[in-house]
Chains A and B, each alone.
Chain A
Amino acid sequence: MEQRQETVEVEKQKNWTNKHRKKTLFSNKHLLPYWLILPTLLILAVLTIFPLGYSIYVSFQDFNTYGQPDGFTGSNYAEVVTSMTFWNSMGVTLLYTFGVVAFEMILGLFMALMVSKDTKVMGYLRWVLIIPMMLSPLVVGIIFRLMLNADMGIINYMLQSIGLPAVNWLGTSGTAFLSIMMVDIWQWTPMCFLIILAGLQSLPQDPYEAARLDGASRLQILKDITLPLLKPIIIVALVIRTMDALRMFDQVFVLTQGGPGRATEVISFLMYRAALRFSDYGYATAGLFILLLVTIVLSYGMIKLLTRNEKAGES
């Protein structure tokens, strides 16, 4: 009896301290920023970290033909790295990524240099130039499917009207791959353009005046001043575009469905098929993890490579 009373007493005390602590937690000024950021962190933990962990689990699960997990296995990764279709997809994805990113960076830089003056006309021009990136990639796919149509597409019509032969754009491997690249370049060059433009506008003006006084030519100024100063921004654009290009899905879905054959079957599309059509969730997740790994290695490598040069230049 006495003991019980004692525990009650202790309970009470505990309650009191708890209450007390809570009160200070809420009223403590120093904790306000933590309270403000807490919901965001919780949501991100639940919606990013948890699924990521879960996907590691899934990638090590064996799924039966009904799509039910059937026990732990390492065979998903083995199956991925030994399958020819995966390496074909990896090749397509990498080739595609390098191709479009190189084109987009050069074109984007070129366009940004042309509209870098701040006039009203240029303001509207900039808006026009970035419309493509705001359209749904799916709609863009539809537009180009219409224009590239072998029989009634406007592109073949124009080719024929100037005496060139019609091309079966989406029907043969090489042209299908080129078409997908073309669509990507049309839609995403504006992204490079926009980032580089922002960089151009924040450059310091002093080096330019000095160069002008020295009588440097435009090309020299571009090569010796603008490009080195722009380097950090160019890295940002490069990394963002590479990450996005590696996971491209929508255009392939609308334009080619990976075909003809497997000529345009990028990894995300291959894994989409594995997951939704064949319920092969383990295989799909393992493959996507390898894609994530490639993405991280590539972007980290690019950042390291380009910033190391910078440091070497400083010393």
Chain B
Amino acid sequence: MENAKTGMKAKRMREEIIRYTVLFIICLIVLFPIYWMVITSFKTQGELFHSTQTFFPQQFTLQYYLDPVDGVLTAGSPFLGFFFNSMIVASASTVICLVVGSLAAYSLARFEMRINKNDRLSFAILTARMLPPIVVIVPMYLIMQQLGLLNTYWAMLIVYTGFNLPFVVWMMKAFFQEIPKDLEESAMVDGDSRMKAFYKIVLPLVAPGLVATSIFTIILTWNEFLFAMFLLNSADMMTLPPGIATFITQYETNWGSLTAAATLAVVPVVIFSFIVQKHLVKGMTLGAVKG
């Protein structure tokens, strides 16, 4: 009996060791490419093309970041412009989507509506998100061309608002549904109007959800490439993804600048994702799965 018990223990121990070894290898596979990008941006040109590759830069250099002529962080570099454009587009479309989408989400989460029987309307909104955006890309391009909006923030703002809105509605709906109804109902019994109860009681409670949703919207917008590629073609209006794509063809072999730009584009995303860790499931799966 005693023997069997220790045998079991040993077996479990072995299993745990295997489990963590496998997980360690998977983490290595996940992290190595990112690590490789980061250290490549700190290597000198000579080291990069040397016949023996180094896993840590022998001669740590900041030239691709800070070089007075073509460093990516040097004032007036195209990269800073792309970064700035991405920030404007991402934050503006996020604000619009959150304001408009939260109201809709609240409505769907709290009220019985005849048009929303069996959540029909919610699913219709979700379908809008599931449509491959590429199908509407050509008409969008032609429409923007006719409106004279190609190469403007407006075009990006309009397109990204359309994309992100269904996502925001679904995610915020899940967050609203987690807040007990009684809280606002008791406030309404005390004489507050529905909207006042919304501002006073519900909004503060749902604040973490708002933050998580907005970060996901920012990440989605930040990474979007296809539409930006179609709708922006002058370098001073480009967001980060198409901007960095122009680097590829411009300096085919200038891996230092390319990886430096890519590293800087990724840093905010990694930081933001760490902040919303707890809400990851809901965010990335559209709240379709109860996390």
Q: How far is the CB of A268 from chain B (nearest CB, A)?
A: 5
* A8 sits at the interface (CB 8 A): no
- Residues from chain A with a CB closer than 8 A to the CB of B121 are 37
Q: Which of B1-44 contact A (CB under 8 A)?
A: 19, 22-23, 26-27, 29-31, 33-34, 36-37, 40
State A134–B218 Cα separation when bound (angstroms).
11
Contacts of A36 in B (CB 8 A): 103-104, 106-107
Interface residues of B in 50-72 (CB under 8 A from A): 53
Kindly provide the distance from the CB of B126 to the nearest chain A CB, expressed in whole angstroms.
11
Report the separation of the CA atoms of residues A201 and B290 in the bound assembly, to the nearest whole angstrom.
9
Cβ A281 vs Cβ B53 within 8 A:
no
Contact A136–B222 (Cβ < 8 Å): yes
| Closest CB in chain B relative to A29 CB, distance in Å | 7
Is A291 part of the contact surface with B, judged by Cβ < 8 Å? yes
Indicate if A208 sits at the interface (CB-CB under 8 A). Answer: no
Counting CB contacts under 8 A, is A303 at the interface? Answer: no
Task: Report the interface size class on chain A.
Answer: 35 or more
**Given A114-B19, A136-B223: A295 touches B132 (CB 8 Å cut-off):** yes
Bound Cα distance A1, B273 (Å): 74
Is A198's beta carbon under 8 Å from chain B?
yes
B81 at the interface (CB under 8 A from A): no
Surface stretch bound by B, among A13-21, A142-150, A169-177, A209-217: A142-150
Task: Give chain A interface residues in 95-128, CB to chain B under 8 Å.
Answer: 111, 114-115, 123, 125-128
Query: How long is the Cα–Cα vector from A194 to B40 in the complex, in angstroms?
Result: 30
- Asked if A40 contacts B125 (CB within 8 A), the reply is yes
Contact yes or no, B125 A44, CB < 8 A: yes
Please name all residues of chain A whose beta carbon is closer than 8 Å to the beta carbon of B104 when the two chains form the complex.
36-37, 39-41
Pairwise interchain contact B135-A291, C-beta atoms closer than 8 A: yes
Within 8 Å by CB of B244, from A43, A139, A147, A275, lies A139
Complex Cα gap A90–B33 (Å): 30
B143 in contact (CB, < 8 A): yes
Partner of A137, one of B223, B248, B277, B289: B223
**From B130, which residue of chain A is reached at the shortest CB distance?**
A243
In the complex the two chains form, what is the Cα distance from A276 to B141 in whole Å? 10
Cα–Cα, bound, A146→B258 (Å): 10
B37 contact set on A, CB distance < 8 A: 139, 142-143, 146
Q: Please indicate the chain B residues that have their CB under 8 angstroms from the CB of A54 in the complex.
A: 139, 142-143
CB pair B162 A43 closer than 8 Å: yes
**A37 — which chain B residues lie within 8 A by C-beta?**
103-104, 107-108, 113, 121
Q: In the complex, which residues of chain A have a beta carbon less than 8 angstroms from the beta carbon of B280?
A: 126-127, 130, 194
Taking a contact as CB atoms under 8 Å apart, the answer to whether B139 and A142 are in contact is: no
Contact B36 A55, beta carbon cutoff 8 Å:
no
Given contacts A47-B161, A288-B138, contact A142 B131 (CB under 8 A): no
Q: Across the interface, do B290 and A198 meet the contact criterion of CB distance under 8 Å?
A: yes
Number of residue pairs across A and B with beta carbons under 8 Å?
Answer: 237
B281 at the interface (CB under 8 A from A): yes
> Which stretch in B178-186, B199-207, B264-272 binds the other chain?
B264-272
Complex formed: what's the CA distance from A58 to B139 in Å?
Answer: 7
B205-228 with Cβ < 8 A to chain A: 219, 222-223, 225-226
A236 on the B face (CB < 8 A):
yes
A261 at the interface (CB under 8 A from B): no
Task: Answer whether residue A222 sits at the interface, using C-beta atoms and an 8 A cutoff.
Answer: no
Q: Nearest Cβ distance between residue B156 and chain A, in whole angstroms?
A: 13
Q: What's the Cα separation between A126 and B137 when bound, in Å? A: 34
- Knowing A58-B138, A123-B277, A288-B134, the reply to whether A131 touches B161 (Cβ < 8 A) is no
Q: Mark B136-150, 1 if CB is under 8 A from A, else 0.
A: 111111110000000
Q: Mark A220-251, 1 if CB is under 8 A from B, else 0.
A: 00000000000001001000100100110110
Q: Is A289 on the interface with B (CB-CB < 8 A)? A: yes
Instruction: Verify if B128 is at the interface (C-beta below 8 Å from A).
Output: yes
A157 near B: Cβ within 8 Å? yes
- Which residue in chain B gives the minimum CB-CB distance to A283? B138
Alpha-carbon distance A272/B196, docked complex (angstroms): 49
How far, in whole Å, are A67 and B121 apart by their CA atoms in the complex? 38
B272 to chain A, nearest CB (A): 8
- Complex interface residues of chain A between 137 and 191 (CB less than 8 A to chain B): 137-140, 142-147, 152, 154, 157, 186, 190-191
* Residues of chain B contacted by A136 (CB below 8 angstroms): 222-223, 225, 240-241, 265-266, 269
User: With A37-B104, A146-B258 given, can you name 10 additional A-B contacts, CB distance below 8 Å?
Assistant: A36-B103, A44-B128, A46-B162, A132-B30, A139-B265, A146-B36, A236-B288, A236-B289, A246-B132, A275-B138
Give the B-binding residues of A (Cβ under 8 A). Answer: 29, 32-34, 36-37, 39-41, 43-44, 46-48, 51-52, 54-55, 57-58, 111, 114-115, 123, 125-140, 142-147, 152, 154, 157, 186, 190-191, 194-195, 197-199, 201-202, 233, 236, 240, 243, 246-247, 249-250, 253-254, 268, 271-272, 275-276, 281, 284-285, 288-289, 291-292, 295
